[in-house]
Chains A and B, each alone.
Chain A
Amino acid sequence: MNPALQGLITIILGVGGCIGYFYLSNQFLDKVLFPARGKDAGRNINRANMIRPWLFLFPAVFALGLYLGYPVIETLRLSLTDRSADGAFVGLANYSQMASEPKFWEAMRNNMLWLIVVPAVSTAFGLLTAQLTDRIAWGNVAKSFIFMPMAISFVGASVIFKLIYDTRAADLEQIGVLNAVWLSFDGGLGSFLFLRLTPALILLAFAGFMVYGIYISVKPYIWSGNERRGDAWWTFPLRAVVALGSAWLLWLSVWSIVSVMTGTLPYGEPQTWLTVPFWNNFFLMAVLIWIQTGFAMVILSAALRGIPEETIEAAILDGANAFQIFFKIKVPQIMGTIVVVWTTITLVVLKVFDIVFAMTNGQWETQVLANYMYDKLFRANDWGVGSASAIVIMLLVMPILVWNVYNARKEMR
């Protein structure tokens, strides 16, 4: 049979089965189990109404339990046992073995890097494009183009970017855009401006931003004014984490400035971008940023539209300029949405697999946790360590997921 026909039959059977289940089970409840007649009609209606939600929820709860709940338990069990020894319980041996592998820590480091860069850049670009396309005639056309990558699968996007990063021998014509641009630099003034000064300045701005972040985080504890009123218990750990994270990024950016300014650049030679250690992570991140910016833009642009126009007019009357209106009036009013967008992208990033798998497969120091898990489970057939890494991913996702759901619910109120 033609696969398309099979697909069609599956869809018809699936949808028909669902409709049939809901209709028939509802009929059974109302007509047979608790009929709304006789002397107990009122009581029966109340009982039927108590059961009905569970009746309708059952298929979803069952499917989620079978395909989500059970695998979690099973993965946890696998991570604590040794499959080659007939499933003997080995405690945390798998975890300690994993912790001793440098590849795991490379994956952890890269995941953290992804976690910081991708949500931040995607949200920032999304916010920027949302603001810039707001209330201009061709804004919706621009938005459509920026949103379009959302329709492309991660693997498809990876293939597109592989072409951008593609390398040919020096005497051939380069088909990769990045190498074509790269070869136009010859080490002269233009190269200094674009390849040393500009990135250094961007990194400097980033470093400055990090200094500001540290300052904001520790300010209330050093110059204790009246700003600590009503602090929740989690304020201190949160501020500590933000400060430490900022300090690490500050160190990283200062080190990068030095290397950008002093490093020797191989002008005239086509580069295999995806094999440049450390920086190749950013080339991979560009793919996800390209995709997620559209998502962030659509959500944030709806939020920007929701800001009462009068508050902006009041700010104009108060003398605020465009930047002050954006940062002091608009952004605080959509902060809830920004957090939701940020955490949603964070969840995507923590699970990132397809892009790394399709582009580098974790070689040249680009490993991430999900791909590491895949390597262990399906290539090395090491179910213990593979399951352990899956549990680690879940543990990392969990707090962000809870935080995301909490914020999304708060936004809906």
Chain B
Amino acid sequence: MTSLSLRDVSKSYGAVNVLRDINLEIDEGELIVFVGPSGCGKSTLLRMIAGLETITGGTLEIAGERMNEVPPAQRGIAMVFQTYALYPHMTVRDNMAFGMKIAKKPQAEIDAAIANAARILQLEPYLDRLPKALSGGQRQRVAIGRSIVRDPKVFLFDEPLSNLDAALRVATRIEIAQLKESMPQSTMIYVTHDQVEAMTLASRIVVLHGGDIEQVGAPLELYERPANTFVAQFIGSPAMNLLAAEVLQGGEQTEVRTATGGHAIVPIASQVSDQGSSVQLGVRPEDLVLTESDEYLLSADVEIVEALGETTVLYFKPKDGEAPLIAKLPGIHSIKKGTTIRLTAVPEKLHLFTDKGISFLYR
């Protein structure tokens, strides 16, 4: 069942278009992650769903009802802010009760809702404390508790982990995943710029870039079948290598030669007419393997070696005007800086993009 849908939603401040024609259907029980670089419009989109920003164009529906002009409190949403946004002068209990008190709910109902939220989030010992007496992780749990108490149709999370330190971030991320599991019917939308959060939490990821949706899909789908070079390089770390290449022969499989003399037969279909056209060959750093044979993909001078024990990361000297290439080899390798090495990859792991950056799979 569709829980939330965006149709041709756009946002502009004067002449500046921040979001263009966003179309998205979110089913009940999904955890959707909006991910993208700073300024891509992900937070703006979330705030438009919440009702904190007006919608310039298009339609927002929640549970089948048009919500564009409905006040935030009546949209059936609850939001968790990056800075927690707890009311500093109220105890944890009052923070969670505020919305229900405003709505003039009976005291018994309020108490039951708070007891339930406190139990789920293990906040019982802290109910009578002020927010300033809590740690960062506890404050974020209170903020989540405040949204649970509202019993919303859709939960909105705006970078909820960004203000936590690294260790707490991992722990709280797992807590949010468990919270989602304990409330399978609830729909959640989660904004982050951290792709680890996106990959671990999402049922589907929405990659935003410059006000457009680049791709929507399950985490591994985005990893394995990126729709364009932006998604390919945004998902995965280090970013995917892109090699300038030329199509030698199109068809069921595509034979390409890279600008640096590498050669590969990629099991991705192309047109015969593609022959001779210039393309971009994508290969993830972790898919590269060392080779001695003449049938290599990449031959380059090692500039920096980062030996991490479990992996060895090699940075190659970039050719003129190109991004540096990176290889991530499992285990320990005694490769010296300055040596020239040859690398190849399993053909199934290769990605093929047009010179405009569109994947051949989605062309």
| Residues of A close to B79: CB separation below 8 A | 313-314, 317
Instruction: Say yes or no: A308-B89 contact (C-beta < 8 A), given A316-B72, A324-B102.
Output: no
> How far does the Cβ of B359 sit from chain A's closest Cβ, in whole Å?
39
Of B80-88, B287-295, B326-334, the stretch lying at the interface with chain A is B80-88
| Residues of A close to B50: CB separation below 8 A | 317
Contact of A310 among B81, B89, B103 (CB under 8 A): B81
CB <8 Å contact, A308 and B85: yes
> How far does the Cβ of A376 sit from chain B's closest Cβ, in whole Å?
47
User: How many A-B contacts are there with CB distance less than 8 Å?
Assistant: 62
CB <8 Å contact, A310 and B78: no
Instruction: Say yes or no: A329-B87 contact (C-beta < 8 A), given A316-B73, A317-B77.
Output: yes
CB <8 Å contact, A315 and B89: no
**Chain B contact residues: over half helix, strand or loop, or mixed?**
loop
| Residues of A close to B74: CB separation below 8 A | 319
Is B99 interfacial (CB-CB < 8 Å)? yes
Instruction: Say yes or no: A333-B99 contact (C-beta < 8 A), given A310-B83, A313-B81.
Output: no
CB <8 Å contact, A317 and B78: yes
Instruction: Say yes or no: A320-B87 contact (C-beta < 8 A), given A310-B81, A313-B81.
Output: no
CB <8 Å contact, A314 and B89: no
Is B360 interfacial (CB-CB < 8 Å)? no
Is A332 interfacial (CB-CB < 8 Å)? yes
CB <8 Å contact, B103 and A314: no
CB <8 Å contact, A311 and B88: yes
Is B98 interfacial (CB-CB < 8 Å)? yes
CB <8 Å contact, A317 and B87: no
Cα A390 to Cα B6 in complex, Å, equals 73
| Residues of A close to B84: CB separation below 8 A | 310
Instruction: Say yes or no: A310-B72 contact (C-beta < 8 A), given A318-B102, A319-B99.
Output: no
CB <8 Å contact, B87 and A315: yes
Is B52 interfacial (CB-CB < 8 Å)? yes
| Residues of B close to A313: CB separation below 8 A | 52, 79, 81, 85
Cα A310 to Cα B24 in complex, Å, equals 27
Nearest chain A residue, comparing its CB with the CB of B80? A314
Interface size range of chain B in the complex: 20 to 34
CB <8 Å contact, B102 and A314: no
Cα A319 to Cα B152 in complex, Å, equals 13
Is A335 interfacial (CB-CB < 8 Å)? yes
Instruction: Say yes or no: A332-B89 contact (C-beta < 8 A), given A317-B78, A318-B73, A319-B73.
Output: yes
> How far does the Cβ of B303 sit from chain A's closest Cβ, in whole Å?
44
CB <8 Å contact, A317 and B102: no
| Residues of A close to B86: CB separation below 8 A | 311, 314
Q: Please provide the chain B residues from 30 to 65 with a CB less than 8 Å away from any CB of chain A in the complex.
A: 50-52
The tally of residues in A whose CB lies under 8 Å from a CB in B reads: 17
Nearest chain A residue, comparing its CB with the CB of B75? A317
Cα A318 to Cα B104 in complex, Å, equals 12
Instruction: Say yes or no: A315-B88 contact (C-beta < 8 A), given A308-B83, A310-B81, A310-B83.
Output: no
CB <8 Å contact, B85 and A311: yes
> How far does the Cβ of B49 sit from chain A's closest Cβ, in whole Å?
11
Cα A332 to Cα B85 in complex, Å, equals 15
> How far does the Cβ of A304 sit from chain B's closest Cβ, in whole Å?
15
CB <8 Å contact, B85 and A310: yes
Cα A317 to Cα B83 in complex, Å, equals 15
Nearest chain B residue, comparing its CB with the CB of A321? B102
Nearest chain B residue, comparing its CB with the CB of A316? B72
> B131-160 interface mask toward A, CB cutoff 8 Å, 1 = contact, 0 = none?
000000000000000100010000000000
| Residues of B close to A329: CB separation below 8 A | 87
| Residues of B close to A314: CB separation below 8 A | 79, 81, 85-87, 146
Q: Please provide the chain A residues from 356 to 401 with a CB less than 8 Å away from any CB of chain B in the complex.
A: none
> How far does the Cβ of B52 sit from chain A's closest Cβ, in whole Å?
5
Nearest chain A residue, comparing its CB with the CB of B100? A318
Cα A222 to Cα B165 in complex, Å, equals 48
| Residues of B close to A324: CB separation below 8 A | 102
Cα A332 to Cα B73 in complex, Å, equals 22
Instruction: Say yes or no: A317-B89 contact (C-beta < 8 A), given A308-B83, A310-B81, A310-B83.
Output: no
> A292-318 interface mask toward B, CB cutoff 8 Å, 1 = contact, 0 = none?
000000000000000010110111111
Cα A324 to Cα B87 in complex, Å, equals 13
| Residues of A close to B90: CB separation below 8 A | 332
Contact of A317 among B73, B82, B103 (CB under 8 A): B73
> How far does the Cβ of A307 sit from chain B's closest Cβ, in whole Å?
9
| Residues of A close to B82: CB separation below 8 A | 310
> How far does the Cβ of B295 sit from chain A's closest Cβ, in whole Å?
57
CB <8 Å contact, B99 and A318: yes
Cα A313 to Cα B79 in complex, Å, equals 10
> How far does the Cβ of B269 sit from chain A's closest Cβ, in whole Å?
49
Cα A329 to Cα B84 in complex, Å, equals 15
Cα A410 to Cα B324 in complex, Å, equals 54
Nearest chain B residue, comparing its CB with the CB of A331? B89
Cα A318 to Cα B71 in complex, Å, equals 11
> How far does the Cβ of A390 sit from chain B's closest Cβ, in whole Å?
40
> A332-372 interface mask toward B, CB cutoff 8 Å, 1 = contact, 0 = none?
11010000000000000000000000000000000000000
Chain B interface (Cβ < 8 Å from any Cβ of A): 50-52, 71-74, 77-79, 81-90, 98-99, 102-103, 146, 150
Q: Top 9 nearest A-B pairs by Cβ distance?
A: A319-B73, A310-B85, A318-B99, A332-B89, A314-B85, A310-B81, A319-B102, A317-B72, A310-B83
Besides A316-B72, A319-B72, A332-B89, 5 other A-B contacts (C-beta < 8 A): A313-B85, A317-B50, A317-B73, A319-B73, A324-B102
8 A-B residue pairings within 8 Å (CB atoms): A313-B52, A317-B79, A318-B150, A320-B102, A324-B102, A333-B87, A333-B89, A335-B89
Chain A interface (Cβ < 8 Å from any Cβ of B): 308, 310-311, 313-320, 324, 328-329, 332-333, 335
